[in-house]
C-alpha cells in the first residue's frame, strides 16, 4: 500500500516538511517528486490542486490530497495501523491538539508570512515580528500544558502539534537569521520550546523530513523577496 504514495512538494516547503514528518514517523515509504519552479508551476500541480495550486500534494491510490494538515489527518486515518498515532484517542485531548494547530495556522504562520514579505511596509513587517513573538510565548505555555513534563506536545511521542510546528522549525530558525538576529525560540525566553526544538530536530524522522538549515538560508538570501513569494505557494 505504502508504495502507492507519492508526494509533490519543494525541498524547502515547511508545509511539505510537515507531510514528510508524518510519513517518516509512520514509517511509510513514498515517492518524492520535486516541484521545480513555483513561479512556473507543473501541469501535475495545477491539475492536482486546482483551487490553491500550492504544494504539498500527496497522491494515494491515484487521488490527490491538498493542504498540509488535512494531509496529516489523512495519513493518520488512512494508515491507522502504521506507526504510533499522532492524535490521542480521547476526544478532549484531540480537541486540545486541534486547537493548538489552529492557533499555529492563524497566529504564527500568518504573521510570519507578513514578516518575511519584503513587498510590505516596514511597519507591517515589524507588526508581524511582534505578533510572532507573542504567538511563540503563548506556545511556550501550550507546551507546558500539553507535555506536562514529557518531551513533546504529544506527550511521550511526537504528536499532531509537534508535526504542525516541527515542519516549520528550520524556517523559524532561518527567519531569526534573515531578520538580523530576532530570537523566536530561545533558551532564555522560551526554554521549553528551545529544548523541544532540539529534541525534535534530533529525531530520525526530522532529519529525513526537514530541509538543511544552511541550504535554506542560502536559498532565502539569494531570493529574498522571492523567497516569501515562493513560501506563500505552499500550505
Q: Can you give the binding site for a copy of itself, defined by CB under 8 A? A: 51, 60, 63, 65-67, 69-71, 73-74, 77-78, 91-92, 94-95, 98-99, 102-103, 138
List the one residue out of 13, 29, 25, 117 whose CA is nearest residue 66: 13
Q: How far is the CB of 181 from a copy of itself (least distance, A)?
A: 28
User: What's the number of CA atoms in the CB half-sphere (13 Å) around residue 23?
Assistant: 28
The three cell numbers locating residue 138:
503563548
153 within 8 A of 159, measured Cβ to Cβ: yes
* CB of 208 vs a copy of itself, minimal distance in Å: 23
- Whether residue 108 contacts residue 168, with contact meaning beta carbons closer than 8 Å, is answered with yes
Coil, strand or helix at 170: helix
Closer to a copy of itself by CB, 94 or 223: give it.
94
Q: Which is nearer to a copy of itself, 51 or 121 (CB)?
A: 51
Residues 47 and 169: their CA atoms lie apart, in Å, by 30
Q: Quote the least distance from Cβ 159 to a copy of itself, whole Å.
A: 15
Minimum CB distance to a copy of itself, residue 213 (Å): 29
| Beta carbon nearer to a copy of itself, 121 or 202 | 121
Distance in Å, CB of 221 to a copy of itself, minimum:
29
Task: Report whether 39 contacts 184 (CB < 8 A).
Answer: no
The answer to whether the beta carbons of residues 24 and 158 sit under 8 Å apart is no
By C-beta, is 101 or 216 nearer to a copy of itself? Answer: 101
Beta carbons of 13 and 56 less than 8 angstroms apart:
yes
**179 vs 192 by CB, closer to a copy of itself:** 192
Amino acid at each position: 500500500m505504502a508504495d502507492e504514495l507519492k508526494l509533490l512538494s519543494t525541498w524547502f516547503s515547511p508545509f511539505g516538511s510537515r507531510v514528510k514528518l508524518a510519513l517518516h514517523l509512520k514509517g511509510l515509504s513514498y515517492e518524492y517528486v520535486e516541484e521545480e519552479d513555483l513561479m512556473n508551476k507543473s501541469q501535475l500541480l495545477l491539475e492536482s490542486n486546482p483551487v490553491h495550486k500550492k504544494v504539498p500534494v500527496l497522491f494515494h491510490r491515484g487521488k490527490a490530497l491538498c493542504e498540509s494538515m488535512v494531509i496529516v489527518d489523512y495519513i493518520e486515518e488512512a494508515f491507522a495501523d502504521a506507526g504510533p498515532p499522532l492524535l490521542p484517542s480521547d476526544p478532549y485531548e484531540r480537541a486540545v491538539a486541534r486547537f493548538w494547530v489552529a492557533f499555529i495556522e492563524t497566529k504564527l504562520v500568518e504573521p510570519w508570512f507578513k514578516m518575511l514579505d519584503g513587498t510590505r511596509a516596514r511597519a507591517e513587517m515589524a507588526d508581524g515580528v511582534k505578533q510572532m513573538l507573542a504567538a511563540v510565548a503563548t506556545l511556550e505555555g501550550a507546551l507546558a500544558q500539553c507535555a506536562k513534563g514529557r518531551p513533546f506536545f504529544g506527550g511521550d511521542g511526537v504528536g499532531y502539534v509537534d508535526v504542525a510546528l516541527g515542519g516549520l522549525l528550520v524556517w523559524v530558525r532561518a527567519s531569526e537569521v534573515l531578520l538580523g538576529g530576532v530570537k523566536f525560540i530561545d533558551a532564555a525566553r522560551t526554554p521549553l520550546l528551545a529544548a523541544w526544538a532540539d529534541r525534535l530536530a534530533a529525531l530520525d524522522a526530522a532529519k529525513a523530513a526537514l530541509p538543511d538549515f544552511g541550504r535554506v538560508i542560502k536559498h532565502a538570501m539569494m531570493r529574498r523577496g522571492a523567497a516569501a513569494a515562493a513560501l506563500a505557494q505552499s500550505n
